[in-house]
Amino acid sequence: NPPGNKGKNMILFIPPRDSLPRSCRCLALDCPCSHSGLSSVPSVPAQTRTLDLDYNQITEIQRQDLGSLWELRVLTIHGKYNTNTHKYTESSWFSPGLVLVWSWFSPGLNHILSFFSFFSFSVCVRCLGSRPLFQSLVRLRVLSFGGDSLEDVRVSDLRGVGRLDPSCLTSLSVPGCRYDSGALAQIWPLDHVTLSLRSPFALNQTLASALLHDVSDPQTHLTLENLNLSSNRSVLPLREAAQRRVRSAPLSAPLCLLLCLCSSVSAPLCLLPSAPLWEKARWTDHMSLDEVFVKDIVLLNNFEFTAFLSLSFLLQFPRKISLINTKVFVMPCPTSVLLKNLEFFDLSENLLTDMTLTETLCAGAGVLKGLRVLNISANAIKSLSLISRMVTRLTKLTHLDISRNSLTFMPQSCPWPQSLRFLNMSRTKFTSATSCLPPTLQVLDLSYNDLERLLVVLPALRELHLSGNKLLTLPPGWLFPNLQTLTVQMNTLNVFTHSDLVSFPRLQNFQAGLNKFSCSCDFVPFFQSLSDGEINITLTDGIHNYFCDSPLHLQGAPLSLVRRSFSECRHVLLVSICCGLVLVFLTCLGVVLWKVHAFWYLEMIFVWLRAKQKRRKRERKRREDGDTEDRPLVTFDAFVSYSERDSAWVDNYLLPELEQTGLCLHRRDFLPGRWIMDNIVIAIESSRRTLFVLSHNFVRSDWCKYELDFTHFQCLEGNCREDAAILVLLEPLHHDDVPKRFCRLRRLLTSTTYLQWPQDPDLRGQFWTSLRQALSPDQDQD
């Protein structure tokens, strides 16, 4: 991306056409729609950031196709389209930061390019056309062209490129072709130039010299790739760079010769023979050498390779030395002359061990007194305490990188230089952090370890990076009173709260994406208020990196789009309200049922059904084995139902008068040991009628109520006459005096003729005559 447009550019790729789907499925914010047979741009979510339309049949893109995708950053449309038929009806809806990478060329290319203001253009063709291709590209910032097919570059081809902003990166890559001298000289000045000149350096040094002459400048960072410097003649074009006082010239070559022609020598990729010959250049002033950068050394015969000691003349004056992936396993302890100016020392991706590190750093003697930055990452060092002892006398050391080593144990205390401010301990194997960490740190990187907590006081710390660990909660903020940036991505965090964040007094930047968040009803609104800026903390990794992991129905949903309903968030309250309402309803229902004596009725029905079931079982048993034990001894004319409190009237008046009539009395005729309900049912079934002696005592007796209702049930079954119930009132009893639960008795009092016990003795004879007549068997025949 060009400066000032970081993170805002849209990238448009357009190469060959084949076929893609009628629709495509988006994954989070990415929509891979390649090879889907699409004839038009599909509908995708408005938040889409990457849209891949490779190899489809799309021939036209209109405003409505992509106009709503304001978050789109990468648009890929590869395929060998015919430029004359590939239509863009309007271009104003494209992002002004559009980056176009076009891998083919046709005569209609200029017409399409005129629509856009490009920041980058790449083309791989044989020539750059018959007319200036870049004449109308007034905003061109980055240019990369060339390839194996490029054959001709003329002065007129690059006309218009001279408007390049010198503050922007410019890259020109030419592997080898026919070149007009001065073609690149008109593009000036250039910040960065990359040339791939393998063939010219090996076969056509004149072409290589002309190219270097046109692009070399003291302000230009020149990179030479894919060189083959196998002979003295092949290095002659480098004189052009030296004569024009190029300050930095990184070399990437299969066979690398270090020529001290510049103030900075870089060898990113070198193949070295088993016994290379290193000679000090006779006309080179090594005192001007400021930086040595060697990376990715490939030894053709590792066992026969001799040391770099013959290159010690290169290490006397540089301030910066980088030996990256150069198979270095030890460097002899430097003398007072060697490395005397060294401030930056990078030995990353080598073979250093605890033993060889001791030799390289002179056993902690502090010889490298001016060293400020030390990088020994990606080696085979195992002891953190050893590292701290080796650097404790480096009094100017501010930056230390020990990442990607096999450090597993952190001691409780370690000596460190007081000047140390930046420490990188990422991608090691620490399982815990102790007070070994230097309290003077301002930036600490503990990413991608196995830490479950961090409880170390670091009062000066400003940046803390803890991504890729196993943290369940954020570290306490009071441990880091000056912390401004905290990153905890890819941990095992489920939630973080407002109190967690405000515990960091000066926290400004926060990154916690790619964790397994529990989208609870408390966390979702808090996160949305945080993303909306209501809290003075910025989510620098963007809200698109935050997704729900639970509950299950929200798994994978972007946290910023989740909305929890009242029923989901207040289910305890909702259940409590429902349970309360049900309880109130049941209470009211219970009161109503109690008022209407429904429970008594249910109990009575249950008792009746149980008695009937037992009677059927007895009858079935009698039929099977002829047992008559439960058969009544006599058949009664009447079963007398009365309250025990009225038993004196029954004994003194009823029995003497009606003894000759067969009466069934519970205290005399009920079979001992039998369930009382069975006795009642058997007595009612064995009697032609039931004589109810009614009084206020009767209506207060539940057993009397059972006997009254059982008689009614007997009649419902068709086993009795309509006048099976005879009512005798011992005292005046109006139906309103009878409780409502005696509803059957209340109905009988209003619909049935009853006999009332006379208080006058003269009238009692008539009473007994009427009662005997009602109980007479002859009355049944009538």
Helices vs strands, H then E, count in the chain: 21, 34
Residue 272 pLDDT > 60, yes or no?
Answer: no
Instruction: Give 428's pLDDT tier (boundaries 50, 70, 90).
Output: very high
Nearest-10 crossing angle of helices 743-751, 702-716:
70
Mean pLDDT is lowest, of 232-236, 253-257, 525-529, 768-772, for: 253-257
* Distance of alpha carbon 497 from alpha carbon 495, whole angstroms: 7
Render pLDDT for 687-704 as a digit per residue (tens, 0 to 9).
888 888 888 887 777 777
Highest mean pLDDT among 147-161, 206-220, 315-329: 315-329
Find out whether 57 and 17 touch, Cβ atoms under 8 Å.
yes
Render pLDDT for 10-64 as a digit per residue (tens, 0 to 9).
343 434 433 334 467 787 678 888 877 788 888 888 778 788 887 787 777 666 6
Question: In angstroms, what is the C-alpha Rg of the chain?
Answer: 52
Find out whether 210 and 234 touch, Cβ atoms under 8 Å.
no
270-277: average pLDDT: 53
What pLDDT shows up at residue 744? 66
Render pLDDT for 551-575 as a digit per residue (tens, 0 to 9).
999 999 999 899 888 888 887 888 8
Which of 295, 281, 211 lies closest to 246, judged by CA?
Answer: 211
Mean pLDDT is lowest, of 173-182, 313-322, 577-586, 620-629, for: 173-182
What pLDDT shows up at residue 100? 45
Cβ contacts of 163-171, under 8 Å, gap ≥ 24: 163/138, 164/140, 164/190, 165/141, 166/190, 166/191, 167/3, 167/191, 168/2, 168/3, 168/141, 168/142, 169/2, 169/141, 169/142, 170/141, 170/142, 170/143, 171/142, 171/143, 171/144
Residue 247 pLDDT > 90, yes or no?
Answer: no
Cβ contacts of 40-44, under 8 Å, gap ≥ 24: 40/65, 41/65, 41/66, 44/69
| Residue where the block lists tokens 């009746």 | 608
Mean pLDDT is lowest, of 166-175, 347-356, 666-675, for: 166-175
Cβ contacts of 233-236, under 8 Å, gap ≥ 24: 233/205, 234/201, 234/202, 234/205, 235/201, 235/259, 236/205, 236/209
* Distance of alpha carbon 247 from alpha carbon 265, whole angstroms: 9
**In the chain, what percentage of residues exceed pLDDT 70?**
67
**What CATH number labels 636-775?**
3.40.50.10140
Query: Counting beta carbons within 10 angstroms of the beta carbon of residue 64, is it exposed (0 to 12), middle (13 to 18) or buried (19 or more)?
Result: exposed
The structure tokens listed for 541 are 């990794």
Instruction: Please indicate whether residue 79 or residue 706 has the higher confidence score (pLDDT).
Output: 706
Residues 444, 448, 450, 452: what is their CA dihedral angle, to the nearest 10 degrees?
60
Instruction: Give 422's pLDDT tier (boundaries 50, 70, 90).
Output: very high
Residue 112 pLDDT > 50, yes or no?
Answer: no
Instruction: Give 256's pLDDT tier (boundaries 50, 70, 90).
Output: very low
Residue 116 pLDDT > 50, yes or no?
Answer: no
What pLDDT shows up at residue 372? 95
CATH architecture of structural domain 287-298+314-413: Alpha-Beta Horseshoe (3.80)
Instruction: Give 418's pLDDT tier (boundaries 50, 70, 90).
Output: very high
Residue 375 pLDDT > 70, yes or no?
Answer: yes
DSSP code per residue over 531-577: HTTSSS-EETT-GGG-BEEESGGGTT-BGGG----HHHHTHHHHHHH
Instruction: Please indicate whether residue 384 or residue 20 has the higher confidence score (pLDDT).
Output: 384
Instruction: Give 335's pLDDT tier (boundaries 50, 70, 90).
Output: low
Average pLDDT, the chain: 75
Strand-pairing partners, residue 292, are 265, 321
Which of 369, 307, 314 lies closest to 336, judged by CA?
Answer: 369
Find out whether 373 and 344 touch, Cβ atoms under 8 Å.
yes
The amino acid that residue 76 corresponds to is T
What pLDDT shows up at residue 257? 44
* Distance of alpha carbon 177 from alpha carbon 124, whole angstroms: 13
747-752: average pLDDT: 71
* Distance of alpha carbon 181 from alpha carbon 392, whole angstroms: 56
Residues 136, 137, 139, 141: what is their CA dihedral angle, to the nearest 10 degrees?
-150
Q: What is the pTM of this model?
A: 0.59
What pLDDT shows up at residue 118? 43
Residue 676 pLDDT > 60, yes or no?
Answer: yes
Instruction: Please indicate whether residue 588 or residue 679 has the higher confidence score (pLDDT).
Output: 588
What is the topology classification, in CATH, of domain 451-564?
A: 3.80.10
* Distance of alpha carbon 376 from alpha carbon 386, whole angstroms: 13
Q: Do domains 287-298+314-413 and 451-564 have the same CATH topology?
A: yes
What pLDDT shows up at residue 409? 93
Render pLDDT for 435-485 as a digit per residue (tens, 0 to 9).
999 999 999 999 999 999 999 999 999 999 999 999 999 999 999 999 999
504-513: average pLDDT: 95
What pLDDT shows up at residue 288? 73
What pLDDT shows up at residue 129? 53
Render pLDDT for 199-239 as a digit per residue (tens, 0 to 9).
777 777 787 788 787 777 777 777 777 676 666 677 777 77
**Residue environment code for 397-431, b if the CB has 16+ CB neighbours within 10 A, otherwise e:** bbbbbbbbbebeebeeebebbeebbbbbbbbbebe
Instruction: Please indicate whether residue 723 or residue 364 has the higher confidence score (pLDDT).
Output: 364
Enumerate the domain spans of the chain.
155-258, 287-298+314-413, 451-564, 636-775
What pLDDT shows up at residue 509? 95
Highest mean pLDDT among 465-474, 618-627, 702-711: 465-474
DSSP code per residue over 251-300: EEEEE------SSEEEEEEEEE-SS------TT--GGG--EEEEE-EEES
Residue 395 pLDDT > 80, yes or no?
Answer: yes
What pLDDT shows up at residue 745? 66
What pLDDT shows up at residue 568? 81
Strand-pairing partners, residue 123, are 145
Strands 636-641 and 663-664: parallel
Q: What share of the chain is helix, strand, coil (3-state, %, to 5)?
A: 30, 15, 55
